[in-house]
Amino acid sequence: MDVVTALDRLPKVELHCHVEGTMRPGTVVELAGKNGVELRTSDPTELYRYSNLDTFLEIFWLVQSTLGSREDWARLAYESIVDGAAHGLVYRETFFTPARHLDAGQDLADIVAGLAEGLAAAEGETGVRAMLIADIDRAYGAAAGLAMVKRLVELREGASPGAERVIGVGLDSTELGVDPTDFAEAFELAGKVGLRRTSHQGEETPPSHIWAGLDVLGSERIDHGLSSLQDPELTRRLAGERIPLTVCPNSNVVIANAVPRLELHPYRRMREAGLLATLNTDDPALTDLDLGREYQSCMEAFGYRWEDMVAIALDGVEATWLDESDKRELRARVEREAAKLAAELDPPR
């Protein structure tokens, strides 16, 4: 077995993947036609070219806009997990960002129920386990973010269908010109009711935004965190407290244009500094990517060995919000299957 195939089959966790960014191009076209969304082309992949995060978001929002009903969300979630499972995904904590749909009149209850239905169907078919993180869209402001969290609390307290799948809240969308501390009230409420917290910080912003994510928002993970190495004190804290960073190297090249080439990405330096930096795809359908290729391309770009990639996969398990029993079980599975794959490698590792 060659190492590319082995990496594709290696059991992997993903903690930074936006479900809307996994939508198949064919599904984009079908849902656009169904819901009256005009596309400039019959092949949406022609639109998938980005000069920075904000130009990417224009396309992301277009893809999002094709989701018009509970059934659409269910289809999206189902296909997302089926596609991930084909490349070694075994567990995912996946983002969804409903602000635009809520603003257009959709009910969060229907969105959550649809996503949960799709995830359950995919779990039954693939064995992959998946949970949800409700992301606040920075572009809609603090009031909308707080309203979303309040509604989510209502759904959880009322045992609304699928609400148990939502285990945390996050913060995404445009970073530039937005103060993360504006969302402190929403994050405080989320923490009070037992929701886990993470936030996109440091992709296009300085270390001060990562500090704010930790100390003001109470984030237990940081999504991206590229600028963390610019602040030695921050690096020491992240490493010392084992605060996970959900890094998306290929996305940082293709979407944010944060670095010109993958081999120039700081990922290897992040891990050498002791950071719990995991590997993730971010928006794989919008970047022609999958989790197996994320691992394979990073192995090549950073000069890693098979053992390094297994260690990264195991760090992904550590960074999850699973309970300790489930973590032990998943870690054992990764170690067991990694050993079998290593024995089949040519030459064996």
Structure confidence at residue 223 as a pLDDT band (50, 70, 90): very high
The verdict on residue 55 lying in a domain is: no
* Averaged pLDDT of the chain: 97
CATH of the domain at 254: 3.20.20.140
Residue pLDDT, tens place only, 4-33: 999 999 999 999 999 999 999 999 999 999
Residue of 14, 79, 117, 203 with catalytic role: 203
Q: Which two tokens stand for residue 260?
A: 């010109």
pLDDT of the residue at 122: 98
Instruction: Provide mean pLDDT across the span 231-245.
Output: 98
Count of other CB atoms within 10 angstroms of residue 221:
26
pTM of the model: 0.97
Structure confidence at residue 160 as a pLDDT band (50, 70, 90): very high
Residue pLDDT, tens place only, 101-129: 999 999 999 999 999 999 999 999 999 99
What distance in Å separates the CA atoms of residue 219 and residue 191, rounded to the nearest whole number? 9
pLDDT of the residue at 30: 97
Residue pLDDT, tens place only, 307-345: 999 999 999 999 999 999 999 999 999 999 999 999 999
Structure confidence at residue 349 as a pLDDT band (50, 70, 90): confident
The verdict on residue 38 lying in a domain is: no
Instruction: Provide mean pLDDT across the span 136-164.
Output: 98
The verdict on residue 51 lying in a domain is: no
| Residue 93 β-bridge partners | 131
pLDDT of the residue at 346: 86
pLDDT of the residue at 298: 98
Domain range for residue 85?
3-24+66-344
Residue 203: active-site member: yes
The verdict on residue 261 lying in a domain is: yes
Backbone angles phi, psi at 346, to 5 degrees: -115, 110
The residue ranking higher by pLDDT, 199 or 177, is 199
Q: Is the pLDDT of residue 347 over 90?
A: no
Instruction: Provide mean pLDDT across the span 271-285.
Output: 98
Q: Are 35 and 68 in contact (CB under 8 A)?
A: yes
Structure confidence at residue 245 as a pLDDT band (50, 70, 90): very high
Q: Are 295 and 309 in contact (CB under 8 A)?
A: yes
The verdict on residue 98 lying in a domain is: yes
The verdict on residue 37 lying in a domain is: no
The verdict on residue 50 lying in a domain is: no
The total of structural domains in the chain comes to 1
pLDDT of the residue at 151: 98
The sheet carrying 245-247 orders its strands as 12-14, 89-96, 129-137, 166-172, 196-201, 221-224, 245-247, 277-279
The verdict on residue 42 lying in a domain is: no
Q: Which two tokens stand for residue 180?
A: 């993360």
